[in-house]
Structure 1
Amino acid sequence: MEALEPALRSGQSGPELAGKLTANWDRLITTYYYDHLGVWAERCGLFALGGYGRQEMVPFSDVDLMVLIPSDGDQRLAEHVGDFIRSLWSLGLNLGHSVRTREQCLELAAENTLVASSLLDARLVAGEAASMPDPKVETRDLLRRNGVENFVELINKGLQQRRKKFGDSPSLLEPQVKLGRGGLRDVHAVNWSAELLFGTTDWSELEASGVVWATEATRLARARSYLLRTRFALHLHHNWKQDQLTYASQDAVASILGYGEPHVPGTKTRFMQAYYLHARAAAEITDLWLDSWTTEHKPDVRSSRVDPTLDSRLTVDDPTALIQEPTAVFELISQAQRRGKRLPPHIRRSIAAVSSALPVSVALDGHANSVIRSVIADVNDSGKLLWTLADTGILSKMVPEWRHLVGHAQHDTYHVFTTDEHLLTSCYRLKSLLKGDLAERSPYLTELAAKFLERNKPDALLLACLLHDVGKGLGADHSLIGSGMAAEAAHRMNFSASETQFIRRLIIEHLTMPKISQRRDLSDPTTLSAFCRRIGRRSLIDALVLLSFADMDSVGPGHLTPWKLRLLEQLHRGATQLLTEESPAVEEHASDRVEILHTLVNDIPETRLDCIIENLPDRFLETAELQQLVRSTRLLDRQKADLQVSFHHSPDGFFTEIIVVENERRGRLADVAGVLSAAGLDIREARSFAVGSNRTIDLLKVCPIERPSGVMPDRKREIVATNLARVLGEHSGFERVLSKRLEQSRLPPKARPSVKLKVHVDNEFDPNFTILEIKCQDRPGVLAYVARLLSDLDLQIDRSIISTEGDRAIEVFYLLDSQDQKLSEIGASELSRAVQRRMEDWNNNDQE
Structure 2
Amino acid sequence: MNPVANQRAIIDRRALDARIAEFAAELGDKARMPVVTILREALAAGRAEIAARLHANPAAGHDCAAAQAFLIDQIVRLIHDYVVRFQYPVANHSAGEHFCIAAVGGYGRGEMAPHSDVDIAFLTPMRKNSWTEQAIEAILYIMWDLGLKVGHSSRSIDEMVRQARGDLTIRTALLEGRYVWGDQDIYREASVRFWKDVVTGTARDFVSQKLEERDQRHKRMGDSRYVVEPNVKDGKGGLRDLHTLYWIGKYIHQVRSAAELVDAGLLTMTEYRGFRRSANFLWAVRCHLHDITGRAEDRLTFDLQREVATRMRFADRPGKSAVERFMQYFFLNAKRVGDLTGVFLAQLDDQFAARDRRFIPAILRRRPRKLSGFILDRGRLALPRPDFFREDPIRLIEIFQLADRHKVEIHPSAMRQASMDAHLIDRHVRADPRPNSLFMDVLCSPRDPELVLRWMNEATVFGRFVPDFGRVVAQMQFDMYHHYTADEHSIRAIGLLARIESGELKDDHPLAYDVMQKLISRRVLFVATLLHDIAKGRRGDHSVLGAEVAMKLCPRLGMTEAETEQVAWLVRYHLLMSATAFKRDLTDYKTIADFAAMVQSPERLKLLLVLTVVDIRAVGPGIWNSWKRQLLGTLFESTEELLRLGHKQHGRRERVIAKQEAARAALGIDEARFVQLARKLDDAYWIAEPDDIIAQNLKLIDAHDTEPLTVAAEFYPARGATLVTVSAADHPGLFYRIAGGIHLAGGNIIDARIHTRRDGMALDNFLVQDPLGRPFMEESQIARLKTAIADALANRVALTPRLIARPVARPRAEAFSIAPNVLVDNKASNRFTVIEVNALDRPALLNRLAFALFDLKCIVHSAHVATYGERAVDTFYVTDLLGGKIDSKSRLKTLEKRLLAAASQDSEQAVAA
TM-score interval, normalised by the smaller of the two chains = 0.7 to 0.9
Q: What amino acid is the match of 1:212?
A: L
Relative to structure 1, is the Cα distance of residues 575 and 143 closer, same or farther in structure 2, using a 3 angstrom cutoff?
farther
Contact 2:393 2:424 in 1 (8 A): no
Relative to structure 1, is the Cα distance of residues 251 and 72 closer, same or farther in structure 2, using a 3 angstrom cutoff?
closer
2:23 corresponds in structure 1 to none
Q: What amino acid is the match of 2:635?
A: L
Which blocks of at least 5 consecutive residues in structure 2 are unaligned? 1-46, 86-91, 361-371, 664-668
- Which of these residues, 327, 330, 333, is aligned with residue 400 of structure 2? 333
Q: Secondary structure at the match of 2:409?
A: coil
Note the 1:402-421 alignment, pairs <5 A. 402-421=469-488
Q: Secondary structure at the match of 1:780?
A: coil
Task: Determine if the alignment matches structure 1 residue 113 to structure 2 residue 113.
Answer: no
Contact 1:152 1:290 in 2 (8 A): no
Relative to structure 1, is the Cα distance of residues 571 and 123 closer, same or farther in structure 2, using a 3 angstrom cutoff?
same
Q: CA deviation at 1:737?
A: 6.3
Q: What amino acid is the match of 2:740?
A: G
Task: Determine if the alignment matches structure 1 residue 390 to structure 2 residue 457.
Answer: yes
Relative to structure 1, is the Cα distance of residues 128 and 481 closer, same or farther in structure 2, using a 3 angstrom cutoff?
same
2:762 corresponds in structure 1 to 697
1:170 corresponds in structure 2 to 225
Q: Distance in 2 between matches of 1:36 and 1:729?
A: 71
Contact 1:310 1:332 in 2 (8 A): no
Q: Distance in 1 between matches of 2:221 and 2:571?
A: 34
Contact 2:105 2:119 in 1 (8 A): yes
Q: CA deviation at 1:314?
A: 9.2
Note the 1:595-674 alignment, pairs <5 A. 602=672, 638=706, 643-645=708-710, 647=712, 656=723, 658-662=725-729, 665-674=731-740
2:147 corresponds in structure 1 to 92
1:61-81 CA distances to partner (integer Å, 9 max, x unpaired)?
222222332248755444444
Q: What amino acid is the match of 1:671?
A: R
Task: Determine if the alignment matches structure 1 residue 538 to structure 2 residue 585.
Answer: no
The TM-score, its normalising length taken from structure 2, stands at 0.80
Q: Secondary structure at the match of 2:162?
A: helix
Q: Distance in 1 between matches of 2:313 and 2:810?
A: 32
Relative to structure 1, is the Cα distance of residues 5 and 269 closer, same or farther in structure 2, using a 3 angstrom cutoff?
farther
Q: Distance in 2 between matches of 1:82 and 1:682?
A: 55
1:303 corresponds in structure 2 to none
Relative to structure 1, is the Cα distance of residues 82 and 652 closer, same or farther in structure 2, using a 3 angstrom cutoff?
closer
Relative to structure 1, is the Cα distance of residues 579 and 746 closer, same or farther in structure 2, using a 3 angstrom cutoff?
closer
- Which of these residues, 532, 550, 554, is aligned with residue 486 of structure 1? 550
Q: CA deviation at 1:219?
A: 1.5
Q: Distance in 2 between matches of 1:270 and 1:420?
A: 15
Moved more, 11-20 or 756-765: 11-20
2:40 corresponds in structure 1 to none
2:334 corresponds in structure 1 to 279
Q: Secondary structure at the match of 2:471?
A: helix
Q: CA deviation at 1:769?
A: 1.8
Task: Determine if the alignment matches structure 1 residue 424 to structure 2 residue 491.
Answer: yes
Q: Distance in 2 between matches of 1:712 and 1:57?
A: 42
- Which of these residues, 291, 309, 317, is aligned with residue 254 of structure 1? 309
Note the 1:261-660 alignment, pairs <5 A. 266-290=321-345, 292-294=347-349, 295=353, 296-297=357-358, 308-311=374-377, 322-356=389-423, 359=426, 361-381=428-448, 384-452=451-519, 455-457=520-522, 459-581=523-645, 585-588=651-654, 602=672, 638=706, 643-645=708-710, 647=712, 656=723, 658-660=725-727
Contact 2:102 2:121 in 1 (8 A): yes
Q: Distance in 2 between matches of 1:696 and 1:333?
A: 63
Q: What amino acid is the match of 2:559?
A: F
Q: Distance in 1 between matches of 2:396 and 2:687?
A: 63
Contact 2:712 2:786 in 1 (8 A): no
1:337-385 CA distances to partner (integer Å, 9 max, x unpaired)?
1111222223223323443465554333433322222221113227811
- Which of these residues, 868, 888, 892, is aligned with residue 805 of structure 1? 868
Q: CA deviation at 1:116?
A: 1.4
Q: CA deviation at 1:499?
A: 1.8
Contact 1:342 1:383 in 2 (8 A): no
- Which of these residues, 77, 91, 112, is aligned with residue 30 of structure 1? 77
RMSD: 4.2
The TM-score, its normalising length taken from structure 1, stands at 0.86
Q: Distance in 2 between matches of 1:309 and 1:430?
A: 31
- Which of these residues, 84, 104, 114, is aligned with residue 59 of structure 1? 114
Contact 1:247 1:751 in 2 (8 A): no
Task: Determine if the alignment matches structure 1 residue 152 to structure 2 residue 207.
Answer: yes
Contact 1:162 1:180 in 2 (8 A): yes
Q: Distance in 2 between matches of 1:341 and 1:593?
A: 49
- Which of these residues, 10, 17, 23, is aligned with residue 56 of structure 2? 10
Q: CA deviation at 1:771?
A: 0.6
Q: Distance in 1 between matches of 2:564 and 2:223?
A: 35
Q: What amino acid is the match of 1:28?
A: I
Moved more, 205-214 or 135-144: 135-144
Q: CA deviation at 1:267?
A: 3.4
Contact 2:374 2:383 in 1 (8 A): no
Q: What amino acid is the match of 1:250?
A: Q
Q: Distance in 1 between matches of 2:397 and 2:711?
A: 65
Relative to structure 1, is the Cα distance of residues 207 and 788 closer, same or farther in structure 2, using a 3 angstrom cutoff?
same
2:13 corresponds in structure 1 to none
Q: Distance in 2 between matches of 1:365 and 1:751?
A: 50
1:199-248 CA distances to partner (integer Å, 9 max, x unpaired)?
32544444356432333212211010011111111111122222122222
Q: CA deviation at 1:394?
A: 0.9
Q: Distance in 2 between matches of 1:183 and 1:724?
A: 47
Q: Secondary structure at the match of 1:824?
A: coil
1:70-127 CA distances to partner (integer Å, 9 max, x unpaired)?
2487554444444444444444332222233333333222211111111221122235
1:756 corresponds in structure 2 to 819
Contact 2:431 2:556 in 1 (8 A): yes
Q: Distance in 1 between matches of 2:602 and 2:167?
A: 61
Relative to structure 1, is the Cα distance of residues 332 and 148 closer, same or farther in structure 2, using a 3 angstrom cutoff?
farther
Q: Distance in 2 between matches of 1:759 and 1:82?
A: 65
Contact 1:408 1:419 in 2 (8 A): yes
1:845 corresponds in structure 2 to 909
Q: What amino acid is the match of 1:22?
A: A
Q: What amino acid is the match of 1:403?
A: G
Q: Secondary structure at the match of 1:326?
A: coil
Q: Distance in 2 between matches of 1:166 and 1:235?
A: 20
Q: What amino acid is the match of 1:446?
A: Y
Q: What amino acid is the match of 1:13?
A: A
Relative to structure 1, is the Cα distance of residues 407 and 528 closer, same or farther in structure 2, using a 3 angstrom cutoff?
same
Relative to structure 1, is the Cα distance of residues 651 and 141 closer, same or farther in structure 2, using a 3 angstrom cutoff?
closer
Q: Distance in 2 between matches of 1:337 and 1:274?
A: 30
Q: Distance in 2 between matches of 1:726 and 1:87?
A: 57
1:302 corresponds in structure 2 to none
1:734-773 CA distances to partner (integer Å, 9 max, x unpaired)?
4366568x36x98966744343312111222222221101
Moved more, 548-557 or 793-802: 793-802
Relative to structure 1, is the Cα distance of residues 103 and 364 closer, same or farther in structure 2, using a 3 angstrom cutoff?
farther
Task: Determine if the alignment matches structure 1 residue 765 to structure 2 residue 811.
Answer: no
Q: Secondary structure at the match of 2:71?
A: helix
2:741 corresponds in structure 1 to 675
Q: CA deviation at 1:297?
A: 4.7
Between Structure 1 and Structure 2, how many residues are aligned? 824
Q: CA deviation at 1:143?
A: 6.1
Relative to structure 1, is the Cα distance of residues 135 and 537 closer, same or farther in structure 2, using a 3 angstrom cutoff?
farther
1:370-407 CA distances to partner (integer Å, 9 max, x unpaired)?
22222211132278111111112111111100122122
Q: What amino acid is the match of 1:761?
A: V
Q: Distance in 1 between matches of 2:275 and 2:168?
A: 24
